[in-house]
Amino acid sequence: MTSLDKSTDVATLGHGDAPLLEVDDLYVEFHTRDGIAKAINGVSFHLEAGETLAVLGESGSGKSVTAQAIMGILDMPPAVVPRGAVRYAGRDLLTMSPKERRKIRGPEISMIFQDALSALNPVFPVGWQIAEMFRVHKGMNRRDAQAEAIRLMERVQIPAAKDRVRSYPHQFSGGMRQRIMIAMAIALNPRILIADEPTTALDVTVQAQIMALLQEIQEESGMGLILITHDLGVVADVADRIAVMYAGRIVESADVLPLYADPAHPYTEGLLASIPQLEQKGKELYAIKGLPPSLLRMPDGCKFNPRCSRAQDICRTDDPELREVVPGRWSRCHFAEEVLGD
Amino acid sequence: MGKYIVRRLLQMIPVALGATFLIYAMVFSLPGDPTTGKCGERNCPPEFVAAFNEKYNLDDPLLVQYGKYMGNVLQGDLGEAQSGLPVSEELSERYVITFKLGGMALAIEAVIGILAGIVAGLRKGGFLDALVLVSTLFVISIPVFVIGNVSQLFFGIELGWFPVTVPFEPSLFDLFMPAMVLASASVAYLARLMRSSMAENLRSDYVRTANAKGLGPSRVVGVHTLRNSMIPVVTFLGYDFGALLGGAIITEGIFNIYGVGGYIFQGISDQDGIAVVSSVTVLVVIYLLMNLLADVLYGVLDPRISHD
């Protein structure tokens, strides 16, 4: 490889074969007073330009921690990354200096959060907060940056953007606030956008609008989108591939349609079964029994075995590997073929 | 905003009336005879007592006395102290000095308190944090008259860095040690307030967003965190200025400062109702105005607070 000039656009560095983003055997631990909480235990996935990867899991499954590790915004300490790599266009982000990393964060990879009211700074106008991206990363003056902020607010369909650029976050509705977050995240045309539960705090109708907006922006810009959610309904229409996380690991990964049609892991099977269906009206709703394991005290063998209806002796002793069951379908289950066959 | 200020100013009227009446009533009900000692080593002759009572309306019932007094105050006449000097003249000289002292104490409080709070809040649980916590606890635990007398002894007499007492017309340097003493407890409270405010905001979601935007640490802390952390601190400073002026009574006593505190103290021991009530009335009004200023500042700093 030729020597890397710092000013070189990272986009030109990507080799034909290197994925846009590659998370490779990532581990994240939190060193707490009660012990070491193993939040992420060997997560690997990749993302291509223009692709939408949904990361699905319940609270505490490690999906948000994964996102924050990619962004490099984990609080260290208490967080520690003992192993693994996060390669952006072939370059490992985890070994970069903080300064280099900041040049990627925002301009190349950006992120939107669940609750836009708390994620936006309450004491600065929204336009100021969007314009800050241009002022800090592009060295733009106030007026030009403000004009860019208005352009972006129009782009995310905020009515009367020009008049509202000086308003504060609390003066917007939830949906409009999330649009502001999106405007801020896409300000510098990042190649990857990580959306951490972007619609969880919103009404159902507004959820659909926000998802449509994200999809539209993605189609226009060709960026890769990582959609973190616990909502199977949101995922189905939008995502290309799904990675299901449980206890800090990916337990199943597949294209959307095959996964919905026929899951290859008991956990995914349980998740799909818990979606309320109209024909079930009057019957009891299905729920996966038990609770996710404590990150401080993981069970032996398969981490899902205490809650799994298919668990056998081998599940309580041997931890299964994530393996390709059929081409393009990965599952971390000793009996993946049987689950897939049902 | 204008309407809000007018409304607040109007609300001050009953508060000021109530406060002055309470003070008037308390001085009125002090035991003892105000003419004691006015006539040397003997009881005053009845004619003197009668004239004295007549002059200060002491024979009237409390409410009438108070009414007569307030009538004069509203006409801009703060009355005459028992020494025969007009209170307003005395106060205008003394308030300059007390304001200087209070202002210096406020500046010291703001600078040291905020800096110590930032340093501690940035690394919660670190060495500097522990240092700030322990030292502020130490300062809060010691009464101000002990701090005052000890620093007088140590910095004034032993080390000779500062004048032990303050001359009649003090320079800023003369007032430095008294201002430090006056500010000591407030510095400690403010540092702790700033510390917890910083630490809380550093964990907030919008600071995480600021990091996700790729901003440098100086911008994340200096712009995004600091601005939010300052909201309760600035408000506290506004309220505290009135408290500092009141607290100056003790500090002025220790350092023999020719300020309002000494005047009030003298007035209480002489049962000089006019002097005490007039001085305190001015204090009350300043205190109310500072509270209003703090509330207005709160609205300016935090756009979520609306004063409409």
Chain-chain contact of A110 with B205 (C-beta, under 8 angstroms) = no
Report the residue of B122, B201, B203, B206 to disrupt the A interface, i.e. the one with the largest count of A CBs within 10 Å. Answer: B206
Q: Which of B290, B297, B269, B284 is nearest to B106 (CA)?
A: B290
pLDDT score at A193 = 92
Q: How confident is the model at residue A16 (pLDDT cuts 50, 70, 90)?
A: low
> Is the complex ipTM more than 0.95?
no
pLDDT over 60 at A10, yes or no: no
pLDDT score at B104 = 92
Of A115, A133, A170, the CB nearest to B304: A170
Residue A327 lies in a domain: yes
Domain range for B22: 2-74
Residue B308 lies in a domain: no
Residue A311 lies in a domain: yes
Structure-model confidence comparison of residues A281 and B215, the more confident one? B215
Q: Does residue B260 share a domain with residue B143?
A: yes
Residue B85 lies in a domain: no
A198 near B CB under 8 A: no
Tokens 């994620």 label which residue?
Answer: A119
Q: Does residue B159 share a domain with residue B100?
A: yes
Chain-chain contact of B208 with A124 (C-beta, under 8 angstroms) = no
Residue A71 lies in a domain: no
Pairing of strands A249-255, A85-88: unpaired
- Domain total of chain B: 2
Per-residue pLDDT of chain B (308 residues; tens, 9 = 90+): 788 888 888 888 898 888 888 888 887 777 766 666 667 667 777 777 777 777 777 777 778 888 888 888 788 777 777 777 788 888 888 888 888 888 999 999 999 999 999 999 888 888 898 898 999 999 889 888 888 888 888 887 788 787 877 777 777 788 888 888 888 889 999 999 999 999 899 889 999 999 989 888 889 998 999 989 998 998 888 888 888 887 788 888 888 888 888 888 888 777 777 788 888 888 888 888 888 888 888 888 888 887 76
Residue A274 lies in a domain: yes
- Rounded to whole angstroms, the Cα distance separating B109 from B91 reads 25
Q: How confident is the model at residue A4 (pLDDT cuts 50, 70, 90)?
A: very low
Over residues A73-123, the pLDDT tens digits come to 888 778 888 888 888 888 888 888 888 888 889 889 999 988 888 899 999
Over residues A176-186, the pLDDT tens digits come to 898 899 899 88
Q: Which bin fits A18, alpha (ψ -120 to 50), beta or left (φ > 0)?
A: beta
Report the residue of A121, A177, A226 to disrupt the B interface, i.e. the one with the largest count of B CBs within 10 Å. Answer: A121
Domain range for A276: 253-342
pLDDT score at B308 = 67
Structure-model confidence comparison of residues B269 and A268, the more confident one? A268
**Which residues of chain B make contact with A124, given a CB cutoff of 8 A?**
227
pLDDT score at B191 = 92
- Rounded to whole angstroms, the Cα distance separating B35 from A194 reads 83
Of B212, B224, B231, the CB nearest to A111: B212
Q: Does residue B218 share a domain with residue B155?
A: yes
pLDDT score at B34 = 67
Distances (CA, A) of B212 to A21, A102, A134, B205: 17, 8, 14, 10
Q: What is the DSSP string of A98-146?
A: HHHHHHHBTTTEEEE-S-HHHHS-TTS-HHHHHHHHHHHHH---HHHHH
Residue B210 lies in a domain: yes
Residue B24 lies in a domain: yes
Q: Does residue B180 share a domain with residue B124?
A: yes
Q: Does residue B194 share a domain with residue B67?
A: no
Residue A341 lies in a domain: yes
pLDDT over 70 at A11, yes or no: no
Supply A105's token pair: 């964060």
Of A73, A104, A170, the CB nearest to B208: A73
**Can you say how many angstroms the Cα of residue A120 is from the centroid of all Cα atoms in its chain?**
19
How confident is the model over A141-157, as a mean pLDDT?
89
- Rounded to whole angstroms, the Cα distance separating B164 from B123 reads 38
Q: Which bin fits A164, alpha (ψ -120 to 50), beta or left (φ > 0)?
A: alpha
Chain-chain contact of B304 with A71 (C-beta, under 8 angstroms) = no
Q: Does residue B145 share a domain with residue B35?
A: no
Q: How confident is the model at residue A9 (pLDDT cuts 50, 70, 90)?
A: very low
pLDDT score at B3 = 85
- Rounded to whole angstroms, the Cα distance separating A56 from A53 reads 9
Structure-model confidence comparison of residues A44 and A311, the more confident one? A44
Distances (CA, A) of B134 to A259, A312, B141, B242, B249: 58, 57, 11, 27, 28
Q: What are phi and psi of B101, to 5 degrees?
A: -65, -50
Q: Does residue B235 share a domain with residue B121?
A: yes
- Domain total of chain A: 1
Residue B119 lies in a domain: yes
CATH number at residue B194: 1.10.3720.10
Q: Does residue B288 share a domain with residue B189?
A: yes
Q: How confident is the model at residue A7 (pLDDT cuts 50, 70, 90)?
A: very low
pLDDT score at B193 = 93
Of A102, A119, A123, the CB nearest to B214: A102
Residue A41 lies in a domain: no
Residues 6+ apart with CB under 8 A from B285: B12, B16
- The answer to whether A296 and A35 are in contact (CB under 8 A) is yes
Q: Does residue B127 share a domain with residue B41?
A: no
Residue A260 lies in a domain: yes
Q: How confident is the model at residue A13 (pLDDT cuts 50, 70, 90)?
A: very low
Q: What is the DSSP letter of A284?
A: P
Q: Does residue B99 share a domain with residue B61?
A: no
